[in-house]
Amino acid sequence: MKKTQISFELSIFETPEELSQNDQKLLSEAETARDNAYSPYSNFQVGAAVLLENGEIVHGNNQENASYPSGLCAERVAVFYAGAKFPGVPIKAIAISASSKKDVTKTPAAPCGNCRQAIIEYEQKQKSPIPILFRGKVGPIYKCASMADILPLAFSSSFLGDS
């Protein structure tokens, strides 16, 4: 039996001013997207901003539904919209901002497992890492260099057989 450690580097920024200009802008776009979330059931608002290689920034936010499972997370709305509007254009970075309406979220809310899986598909397809930046409404900003960092041992199309 062998054991191995899987670890990754998380960058922690205390304020947005510590970020690069590009990351500050992307985070502020995610905050705008967050404020437009449709989340009357959870009152938890999430916004995602996707920067594409062609310079376009695409927004997504969570879209809820009275039939709860029919809703979708902000991150998937954003990457699916990017894939629909700009097919094949690689993703350079994603910023996420999340906060409850009931209580200001101060801890960075990382993307859920389903969103990680959806995003890593694009990372594998474009063969280059997608940095992910995430923050609550206030407080520190976390940044990981790649979705693979926070989804180790990911499932991919390589398991499906004919690749």
Decide: is 123 part of the binding site for ligand THU (CB under 6 A). Answer: no
Decide: is 145 part of the binding site for ligand THU (CB under 6 A). Answer: no
Q: Which token pair is 158?
A: 């390589």
Q: Please select the residue that binds ligand THU; options are 39, 97, 99, 105, rule is CB under 6 A.
A: 39
- Is 75 an active-site residue? yes
* Closest CB 117 distance from ligand THU, rounded Å: 11
Q: Select from 38, 48, 27, 32 the least CA-distant residue to 112.
A: 48
Decide: is 112 part of the binding site for ligand THU (CB under 6 A). Answer: yes
Q: Select from 23, 14, 12, 37 the least CA-distant residue to 98.
A: 37
Decide: is 74 part of the binding site for ligand THU (CB under 6 A). Answer: yes
Phi, psi at residue 85, to the nearest 5°?
-85, -35
Q: Please select the residue that binds ligand THU; options are 23, 29, 64, 123, rule is CB under 6 A.
A: 64
Q: Annotation-wise, does 144 bind a ligand?
A: no
Q: Which token pair is 25?
A: 């802008």
Q: Annotation-wise, does 22 bind a ligand?
A: no
Name the residue nearer to ligand THU (CB basis): 84 or 160.
84
Q: Which token pair is 52?
A: 């594409």
Q: Please select the residue that binds ligand THU; options are 30, 46, 94, 119, rule is CB under 6 A.
A: 46
Q: Please select the residue that binds ligand THU; options are 16, 28, 32, 42, rule is CB under 6 A.
A: 42
3-state secondary structure of 46: strand
Q: What is the CA radius of gyration of the chain?
A: 16
CA distance 36 to 79: 17
3-state secondary structure of 118: helix
Q: Which residues are catalytic?
A: 75
Q: Which residues bind ligand THU (CB under 6 A)?
A: 39, 42, 44, 46, 62, 64, 71, 73-75, 111-112, 115
